[in-house]
């Protein structure tokens, strides 16, 4: 399909919950608003407390009697059927993701939906090939023992996912939870409910046993999200989103001492040494600062450039930033879509104003673009670069989550490592250098969950992913997801 054809796609106008294998409605609903032009895309059912309870009870019943007792090969087969179901409706999912988020069609096609499919297939393959730990033990009295580790499902897992990469991050949690034998009650962001609803349709159409996957729509506080985290029959919560929301969830699950995995905010840094491949570094920082209008938890909002190339780098990044095409995701060549909502745009614009008050030099951007069409009613901002702020400025320390970066010079390796680590967050960082010895040395010292050297946004799904400090805790991916979504039991057997 051409990019513009996705604008005409027929998407559901009423988004309902999926509980115990059936779609159910609610008395209350809320509008799903397009960030592209401000129009209403659909009405979304707002779950009641009773409906959340019904979803959890359905999951628990199925967990105890059906899903948790399936063989590994059977669960893997189901995950492949889910992946095939998404693949069969690939264009529907692209249309849903673009409508909800405003992401350019090319990005939704190449990343979001493709990765959603890969999440299910990857974890299906993983559980088929996973090995158990095995140890031989001798005791002082001459006894001989073997020890092996079994992994049992946790039970019912609550999944709460964000709006910035809706299907990708939703399936990143749902797939391993199901793979490891858990039933799921999932709540997508109220800002981006459509692709999760299509996924529920796939679950229904392939005949997944009722209660294995349950979907509830709604808001967070004193609503579906809070009721889900507080439910006594939820055995674990996995959440991606803001740090303050993660803190609230921690308090909600504390009394029950439930397993939690949090991937929270970030104020990520990119470090560019003078010996870096200059063009590759400029292109890399362009991507890491402005992809998805900066609405990726892994984006670089702090850029440190070694002083000998600082001025040249600022000029080059300015030119490439101004060459980005901001506009409708359905237009050919669009590189940058809108922010997720006008409410979020106001937050980002408040930082644009604050940066000037704090003394920033606005290299480019800093405002709202004008289109002369329906996009003027959307949630767009200009990609923005600042220089001149101290490391203590709020715009350098607080997560903005928009298409913006601040560039500062540095003079020494130890200095820049200390500046990168002087942050309340610890999610990701990039290092650009042609000296790989230095790259490895710096990467080991940076206090983040992931460090890229001469790259950004490359993810092997088998590797651990997560952050430290206010960026969360716990790791998911590969065996690390298996560890989180299961309870490990050591079995010790005397053999002599």
Give catalytic residues, as residue numbers: 263, 297
Q: Rounded to an integer, what distance in angstroms lies between the CA atom of residue 118 and that of residue 136?
A: 37
**Nearest alpha carbon to residue 159 among 127, 128, 135, 188:** 188
In the three-class reduction of DSSP (H, G, I as helix; E, B as strand; rest coil), residue 167 is classed as helix
β-strand pairing of 425-426 with 468-469: antiparallel
* Distance set, CA 69 to CA 72, 132, 145, 181, 370 (Å): 9, 18, 28, 8, 57
Residue with tokens 């948790």: 68
**DSSP tag of 208:** P
**DSSP tag of 206:** T
Q: What is the secondary structure of 230-248 as a DSSP string?
A: H-TT--EEEEES-HHHHHH
Element (H, E) at 316: helix 310-322
Element (H, E) at 301: strand 300-306
CA angle 348, 35, 341 (to 5 degrees): 35
Burial of 249 (0-12, 13-18, 19+ CB in 10 A): buried
Is residue 150 within 8 A of residue 488, CB to CB? The reply is: yes
In the three-class reduction of DSSP (H, G, I as helix; E, B as strand; rest coil), residue 26 is classed as coil
Backbone φ and ψ of 493, nearest 5°: -125, 125
Q: Rounded to an integer, what distance in angstroms lies between the CA atom of residue 363 and that of residue 3?
A: 32
Q: Rounded to an integer, what distance in angstroms lies between the CA atom of residue 388 and that of residue 110?
A: 36
- Helices and strands in the chain: count of H runs, count of E runs: 16, 23
**DSSP tag of 334:** -
Cross-strand bridge partners of residue 306:
410
Task: Compute the chain's Rg from CA coordinates.
Answer: 24
* Distance set, CA 116 to CA 46, 94, 97 (Å): 25, 11, 12
Which residues does 446 contact at the CB level (< 8 Å), separation at least 6? 269, 417, 420, 421, 429, 431
């Amino acid at each position: 399909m051409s990019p513009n054809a996705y604008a005409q796609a027929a998407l559901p106008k009423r988004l309902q919950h999926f509980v115990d294998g059936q779609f159910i409605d609610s008395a209350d609903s809320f509008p799903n608003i397009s960030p592209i032009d401000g129009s209403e895309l659909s009405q979304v059912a707002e779950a009641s407390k009773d409906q959340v309870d019904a979803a959890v009870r359905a999951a628990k019943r199925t967990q105890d009697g059906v899903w948790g007792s399936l063989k590994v090969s059977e669960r893997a087969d189901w995950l492949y059927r889910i992946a095939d179901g998404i693949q069969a409706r690939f264009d529907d999912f692209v249309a849903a993701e673009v409508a909800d988020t405003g992401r350019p069609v090319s990005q939704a096609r190449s990343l979001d939906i493709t990765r959603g499919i890969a999440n299910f297939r990857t974890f299906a393959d993983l559980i088929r090939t996973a090995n158990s730990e095995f140890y031989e033990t001798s005791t002082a009295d001459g006894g001989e023992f073997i020890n092996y580790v079994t992994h049992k499902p946790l039970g019912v897992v609550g999944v709460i996912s964000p709006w910035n990469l809706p299907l990708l991050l939703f399936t990143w949690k749902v797939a391993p939870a199901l793979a490891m034998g858990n039933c799921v009650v999932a709540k997508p962001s109220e800002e981006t409910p459509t692709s999760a609803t299509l996924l529920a349709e796939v679950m229904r159409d392939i005949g997944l046993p009722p209660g294995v996957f349950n979907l509830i729509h709604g808001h967070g506080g004193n609503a579906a999200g809070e009721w889900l985290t507080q439910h006594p029959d939820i055995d674990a919560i996995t959440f991606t989103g803001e740090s303050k929301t993660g803190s609230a969830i921690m308090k909600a699950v504390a009394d029950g001492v439930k397993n939690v995995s949090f991937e929270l905010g970030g104020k990520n840094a990119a470090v560019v040494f003078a010996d870096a491949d200059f063009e590759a570094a400029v292109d890399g920082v362009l991507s890491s600062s402005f992809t998805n209008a900066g609405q990726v938890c892994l984006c670089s909002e702090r850029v440190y450039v070694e002083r000998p190339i600082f001025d040249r780098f600022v000029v080059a990044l300015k030119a490439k930033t101004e060459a980005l095409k901001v506009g409708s995701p359905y237009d050919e060549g669009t590189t940058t879509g809108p922010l997720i909502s006008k409410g979020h745009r106001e937050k980002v614009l408040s930082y644009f104003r604050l940066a000037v008050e704090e003394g920033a030099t606005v290299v480019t951007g800093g405002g709202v673009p004008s289109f002369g069409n329906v996009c003027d009613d959307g949630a767009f901002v200009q990609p923005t670069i600042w220089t001149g702020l101290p490391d203590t400025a709020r715009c350098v320390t607080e997560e903005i989550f928009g298409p913006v970066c601040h560039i500062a010079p540095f003079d020494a390796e130890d200095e820049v490592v200390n500046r990168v680590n002087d942050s309340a967050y610890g999610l990701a960082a990039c290092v650009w250098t042609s000296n790989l010895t230095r790259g490895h040395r710096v990467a080991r010292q940076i206090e983040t969950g992931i460090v890229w050297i001469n790259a950004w946004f490359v993810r092997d799904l088998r590797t651990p992913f997560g952050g430290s400090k206010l960026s969360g805790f716990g790791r998911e991916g590969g065996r690390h997801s298996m560890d989180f979504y299961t309870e490990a039991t050591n079995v010790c057997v005397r053999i002599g």
